[in-house]
Structure 1
């Protein structure tokens, strides 16, 4: 049996870092669903098209191959904006949902997988054995995002970044399809005042409970 560790949360909450730590510690294959949307956004950007046509974007989503994507190009402000718009297109979400479900199938010989995003616990893997909803204060999330952008040589005022995060939160939580929300059976973890080591202690406790029950 392959267990699913599903992780949701808003931008800058730390869910990606936690997913990577889980992947490394347990040797679980990791899929960052955000990379899928960012990759489609990059393909759209590189196509040179200016009109935001749903069918064109769906075609890009259907043909996506992560091995062909330059991941260094997907972490910037423009890709953030495009991927956020793309994530509201129902047909694109359905296409990328198939990609994510297939990720479990191709790793069915593994003890587990870890997938993070914004609708993993509620839409993609609602029956996941372990569910986490990771959150943090808006100020802390903005600070983390600011540092990430700095590392990628992207300059932005922190006040503007806070406003953009607020808009992104609103868009994610209010979209009609697969909105960001807390699953009823998810373990809620606020990382605002915690180090990654402190977070991982709590995360491993929940995962270990499931793994022990499987033995």
Structure 2
């Protein structure tokens, strides 16, 4: 049976990763969290003094991109691959609000995006992949058989993100989380290189008022229909 590429793009905190993980597991496809890849580079930049509230040394980070080795290692207990930076598991470390505050700025650097897109293309060369991010259906895999664009209101996304952070025991204020969501939306949508936008042939899903099970059922059916179509 022929496999396909499924590209899931959309705004931050719309549940793209959750849906993509579930779908990949259901279809027995490979899941790639491109957002984690950009967060990993951001984490590296933070830990090496390239970015902070006061400055962003873009040239310094660009000069060290060859020192950044990213990989996904499958975790059987969780059922998906966790991201490793230079051999170290940083899956939890990159999910903080502090990393979120800087990731859009790092992701807007053309050299960073070029490096990441090259890796993403390699991961998807054999198809049978579910990849989520900001530009998967427009830049990385414009030929993907199924493209989905997910969105929700800023308030809804901020509430989800706030609850997630609180559940992890991280200190957070709703107003700060909402501000982060709004700022990331602006930077992601207005950057010069590969801005966030819906591909013309992508299916729009606004999940502001959708539960996780309902949303997964819709996406799963889309995927099954497309796979049948490709194999008919």
Partner of 2:134: 118
Residues 146-187 of structure 1 show CA distances to partners (whole Å, capped at 9, x for unaligned) of 011112322121122212211110111111111111111001
Partner of 2:58: 54
Say which SS state the counterpart of residue 104 (structure 2) adopts: helix
Determine if contact 1:6/1:120 at 8 Å carries over to the other structure. yes
Determine if contact 2:34/2:131 at 8 Å carries over to the other structure. yes
Gaps of at least 5 residues in structure 2 are: 72-83
Q: In proportion to residue count, which structure has more strand?
A: 2
What is the RMSD of the two structures over their aligned residues, measured on CA atoms?
1.6
Partner of 2:160: 144
Determine if contact 2:50/2:61 at 8 Å carries over to the other structure. no
Partner of 1:41: 42
CA distance in 1, matches of 2:119, 2:159: 32
CA distance in 1, matches of 2:205, 2:50: 40
TM-score, normalised to structure 1, is: 0.91
How many residues matched? 211
Residues 74-114 of structure 1 show CA distances to partners (whole Å, capped at 9, x for unaligned) of 11122112222101101110110001001113xx2x6x100
Q: In proportion to residue count, which structure has more helix?
A: 1
The alpha carbon displacement at 1:49 in A equals 4.3
* Residues 2-151 of structure 1: pairs in structure 2 closer than 5 A: 2-49=3-50, 52-62=56-66, 63-66=68-71, 67=84, 68=87, 69-105=89-125, 108=126, 112-151=128-167
TM-score, normalised to structure 2, is: 0.85
The alpha carbon displacement at 1:59 in A equals 4.5
Q: Which moved more, 1:179-188 or 1:78-87?
A: 78-87
Determine if contact 1:61/1:96 at 8 Å carries over to the other structure. no
Gaps of at least 5 residues in structure 1 are: none
CA distance in 1, matches of 2:29, 2:4: 9
Partner of 1:205: 221
